[in-house]
Amino acid sequence: MPHGPLRGVTVLDCATLFAGPLAATILGDFGAEVIKVEHPRNPDPARTHGPAKDGVGLWWKMLGRNKHTVTADFSRPGGAALLRRMAAEADVLIENFRPGTLERWGLGPDVLHAANPRLVIARVTGFGQFGPYARRPGFGTLAESMSGFAAMTGEPEGPPTLPPFGLADGVAALTLAGAVQTALYHRDVHHGPGQVVDLAIIEPLLTLLGPQATAYDQLGVLPVRTGNRSTNNAPRNTYRTRDGRWLAVSTSAQSIAERVMTLVGHPEVTREPWFATGAGRAEHADLLDDHVGRWIAERDAAEVVAAFEKAEAACAPVYDIRDVFADAQYRALDSITSVQDDELGAIRMQNVLFRLSRTPGAIRWTGRAPGADNEAMFTERFGCTAEELSALREEGAI
């Protein structure tokens, strides 16, 4: 990938378990040289999370793609010196140690910036670098709980519901990748120094929840669980077809709502005064859901989707991953792409996040074994001698 837009940017991925590493993956997909730095005896636990084939972790194959892998124990003098050496030549360092840990090892931002004033230090933790919770262990599940997401997710009479995947970590990773590029833009375009990015995982998901904060501030309104319905418009739900498939319908736009109700044989509701606003329709969700649900229940999924498409109304099947693999649109976009892996041969995984017309991203290789690039990186990239590497091994620093 000679023309990746982030070519020339060196990223030290010193983080573990999802938010930080996924941000580094995104940067690597678009040309950054990413060096994954792991503890020599306790590598990133993400390697053993999720399903495995023949003892090979499959999640890591995606999360570790486009990354060189090296090992270093920063708590040992040799490992700390090695990080300072790498940081002196890097553009970005991503870490998720508890606040104060790097400082305890003599690797705080003041030290790293003394070695490299241009370094962008991205610190991602559960609760941020300061405040009463800063030193607590923090994971995405806690962010999904504390942000208000779980409180508004689930059926009205059911419990708060957590997502079955790392939603908060994923949102934080996307945010962190953007934050890093923002800091690099400031450094390179406005000729500023490097700086520290402080990202608390509890915050990005809070932003995605929309106007909740302002609505509570101004109106005292608390969100409630509405299942698959929306408090902003209707009909909006999942509906079961005659052949047992589930379909999702959305009517955020007024014109779409009118088309849907005309399609299902109830144009009369579109003339009601309350139908003219999303909030008005949401107040009559029982009536609208009944009309739409009955019409869909009398037809097979393919017939319903075809009718909605002809009517230019919004409808989509509820997919599992088998359906994603088979879907014509996903296949046209190459959203699930095939990559060659040294251990497993050809494997399929999610492609890069977006397409650039002139400088596209690419998956160059899949996740490597811990320390696979120790020799090449430490000697060829960072100038260590064979004697220095031998000493670091003897110390247990790599």
Distance of alpha carbon 10 from the chain centroid: 21
Residue 194 CA to residue 118 CA, distance in Å, equals: 4
| Residue 121 DSSP one-character state | E
H helices present in the chain, as ranges:
19-29, 58-63, 77-87, 101-104, 109-115, 140-146, 167-189, 204-208, 212-219, 254-263, 278-283, 285-297, 301-310, 321-326, 328-333, 374-375, 386-395
Residue 24 CA to residue 46 CA, distance in Å, equals: 14
Is 169 considered catalytic here? yes
**CB 168 within 8 Å of CB 161:** no
DSSP per-residue string spanning 203-222: THHHHHT-THHHHHHHH---
Residue 252 CA to residue 236 CA, distance in Å, equals: 8
Catalytically annotated residue among 29, 169, 289, 373: 169
Maximum pairwise Cα distance, the chain? 84
Which residues are designated catalytic?
Answer: 169
